[in-house]
């Protein structure tokens, strides 16, 4: 028993220092967001109104520029064939319920993208409360757009910054949040739900928690596939 306790201590002490260091880096990283509102594209092309909101992924945390962020890549792609109005109201740290308090589109959109729920997983939001919030969010936002793409949660369980025991717990819980979102989304004909895949090697930012430029490219490609 004593040997076991010593082994636990030997693991936990350096792990706590390691995770603490990288989570502090994550906190610093979240201070840089890329949430520009833009008008792009040729005026002679079809008008497209796009609104994006949600958490740090939508806000571009971890990317080195707006152009390499999920939202930036999306705006550039959509502007190639459209006269694009692009609004980004994302905010790092946003949970599902908080989408009800963030700014909404002032007019009906052609496309709304919501990237949310990773923070609900991370902070252990009560699943019943999360489910109710998801229903309210989808009911509200679905009325404001022709089409909605809903993504989340990110695979928090794969973040190298977190200790393994906690990552195991997150891996179990992630699926429950994803299931709740998928179930709510299937009730709407104009909502497409995407469950993010497992991040590949080399897609984490220096904080070992948020995505880097390549990670943001993966999120963009997922959205692109559903447009």
The β-bridge partners of 48 are: 84
Give the chain's mean pLDDT.
90
- Report the pLDDT value the prediction gives residue 10, as an integer from 0 to 100: 45
Q: How far apart are CA 21 and CA 113, in angstroms?
A: 32
4: pLDDT strictly greater than 60:
no
Domains of the chain, earliest start first: 2-226 (3.40.50.1110)
Q: Which residue has the higher pLDDT, 84 or 17?
A: 84
With a CB cutoff of 8 Å and minimum separation 6, the contacts of 74 are 50, 52, 86, 113, 220, 223, 224
11: pLDDT strictly greater than 70:
no
The lowest-confidence range among 26-30, 62-66, 176-180, 201-205 is 26-30
CA quadruple 11, 17, 19, 20: dihedral sign: positive
90: which 2 tokens? 């994302």
Confidence of residue 22 (pLDDT cuts 50, 70, 90): low
Confidence of residue 36 (pLDDT cuts 50, 70, 90): confident
Share of the chain above pLDDT 70, in %: 87
- Report the pLDDT value the prediction gives residue 19, as an integer from 0 to 100: 63
CA quadruple 157, 159, 162, 165: dihedral sign: positive
The lowest-confidence range among 16-25, 87-96, 181-190 is 16-25
- Report the pLDDT value the prediction gives residue 208, as an integer from 0 to 100: 85
Read off the pLDDT of each residue in 175-183 and give the average, rounded to a whole number: 98
147: pLDDT strictly greater than 90:
yes
| Claim: this prediction has a pTM higher than 0.85 | yes
With a CB cutoff of 8 Å and minimum separation 6, the contacts of 216 are 57, 60, 62, 63, 68, 69, 70, 73
Distance of CA 220 to the CA centre of its chain: 11
């Amino acid at each position: 028993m004593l040997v076991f306790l010593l082994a636990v201590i030997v693991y936990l002490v350096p792990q706590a220092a390691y995770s603490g260091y990288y989570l502090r880096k994550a906190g610093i990283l979240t201070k840089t967001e890329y949430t520009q509102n833009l008008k792009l594209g040729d005026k002679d092309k079809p008008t497209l109104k796009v609104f994006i909101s949600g958490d740090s992924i939508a806000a571009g945390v971890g990317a080195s520029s707006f152009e390499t962020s999920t939202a930036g890549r999306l705006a550039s792609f959509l502007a190639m064939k459209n006269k694009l109005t692009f609004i980004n109201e994302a905010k790092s740290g946003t949970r599902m319920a908080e989408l009800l308090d963030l700014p909404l589109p002032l007019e009906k959109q052609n496309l709304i993208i919501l990237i949310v729920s990773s923070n609900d997983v991370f902070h252990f939001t009560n699943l019943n409360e999360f489910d109710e919030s998801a229903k309210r969010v989808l009911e509200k936002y679905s009325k404001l757009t022709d089409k909605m793409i809903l993504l989340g949660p990110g695979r928090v369980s794969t973040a190298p910054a977190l200790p393994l025991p906690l990552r195991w717990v997150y891996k179990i819980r992630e699926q429950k949040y994803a299931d709740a979102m998928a179930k709510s989304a299937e009730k709407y004909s104009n909502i497409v739900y995407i469950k993010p895949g497992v991040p590949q090697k080399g897609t984490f930012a220096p904080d070992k928690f948020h995505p880097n430029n390549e990670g943001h490219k993966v999120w963009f490609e997922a959205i692109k596939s559903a447009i």
